Amino acid sequence: MSSPRHAPAGPGPYRVLVRDLPTRKEIAVGGPFVAAVIAGLPMREALGRPAEDADAGGGVLDVELDADGTHVFARGTMRGHLVVACGRCVGPARIDIDEPVMVTFVPPHEVPADPDAPPAEAPHGAAGKGRKAKPKASAPEPADDASDDLSGTEIAADDLDVFPYDGEIVDLEPLIREHFVLAVPYAPLCRDDCKGLCPQCGVDRNVEACACEPPPDPRFAALKGLKLPS
Ligand SMILES: [Zn+2]
Ligand SMILES: [Zn+2]
């Protein structure tokens, strides 16, 4: 076994040495990190913010890490927020994140196969991608016989993620990235009752009223050319 032993000066802000387990880690991330993670998403690009945006979001991953044989478990919470464009007015929409974290780190060969992923032995950037090991929620949730020794945390099948690790260093960065990416809704809203932009003149109807008439009802449009006898 020749594991690449690139002894780093320190494990870095997102990494935990397995020999230090069990331990608790609180990892804070700021705007530039979040901006880089969500860069390229359409609802982010629509805001036209700079790449290093201090206001792109932020958050804290707070997890307890524990090793069991070749597996490492991380349990805790990911809290934070990010800013994308509102789907109606294109203004900033703040999305809050408050999610339980329930992750297992396993040797790469144990990561469940993902049909879209390249073969497991070609980790070309694969390290940045946590693969969901969703045991399809068709099975009923396991009874609470197993959850007693988990400090009261309920395990839902959907919360079980599996990430690869090399047996020595657990890298929490992909886990944090995943939470931010998955938090972006399909149609974000700056607020539930956002009035959006006027389809005629384009003003933000949350800020300004305009004199545009509502678009004509297509049923009446057909009558418009009619000259009524007078
Ligand atoms: Zn809006
Ligand atoms: Zn208008």
- What is the pLDDT at residue 217? 74
Query: Which carries the bigger pLDDT value, residue 230 or residue 33?
Result: 33
Let me know whether 187 and 229 are in one domain.
no
Judge if 152 and 186 occupy the same domain: yes
- Tell me if 35 is assigned to some domain: yes
Task: List, for residues 25-50, the tens digit of each pLDDT value.
Answer: 999 999 999 999 999 999 999 999 99
Q: How confident is the model at residue 9 (pLDDT cuts 50, 70, 90)?
A: low
* pLDDT at residue number 155: 44
pLDDT in tens, 87-146: 999 999 999 999 999 999 999 998 877 666 555 444 444 444 444 444 444 444 444 444
Q: What spacing in Å lies between the alpha carbon of 188 and ligand 1's midpoint?
A: 8
Q: Residue 10: inside a domain, yes or no?
A: no
Distance 91 CA to ligand 2 centre (A): 17
Q: Of 82-86, 91-95, 145-149, 188-192, which range is least confident?
A: 145-149
200 and 183 fall within a common domain = no
Predicted local distance difference test score (pLDDT) of residue 110: 87
Phi, psi of 19 (to 5 degrees): -70, -15
Instruction: Please tell me the distance between residue 206's alpha carbon and the centre of ligand 1 in angstroms.
Output: 8
Residue 9 lies in a domain: no
pLDDT of residue 149: 45
pTM across the whole model: 0.70
Q: Are residues 220 and 146 in the same domain?
A: no
The pLDDT of residue 10: 61
* 88 and 179 in a common domain: yes
Residue 144 in domain: yes
Minimum-distance ligand to the CA of 213? 2
| Structural domain for 201, as ranges | 195-230
Answer yes or no: do 124 and 217 share one domain: no
Backbone angles phi, psi at 160, to 5 degrees: -85, 105
- 47 alpha carbon to ligand 2 midpoint, in Å? 21
Q: Answer yes or no: do 121 and 102 share one domain.
A: yes
Give the Å distance between the CA of 85 and the centre of ligand 1.
8
Ligand 1 is a single-atom ion; what residues have CB below 5 A from it? Answer: 86, 88-89, 190, 194
- Domain shared by 34 and 134, yes or no: yes
Instruction: Please report which ligand is nearest the Cα atom of 200.
Output: 2
Mean pLDDT, rounded, of the chain: 81
Number of neighbouring beta carbons within 10 Å of residue 172: 23
| Number of domains the chain contains | 2
> 225 and 111 share a domain?
no
pLDDT of residue 224: 64
Tell me which ligand sits closest to the C-alpha of residue 193: 1
Residues 220 and 202 in one domain: yes
Same domain, 157 and 210: no
Does 6 reside within a domain? no
Do 159 and 60 reside in the same domain of the chain?
A: yes
**DSSP assignment string, 152-219:** TPPPPGGGEEEEE--SSEEE-HHHHHHHHHHHS-SS--SSTT---B-TTT--BTTT----PPPPPPHH
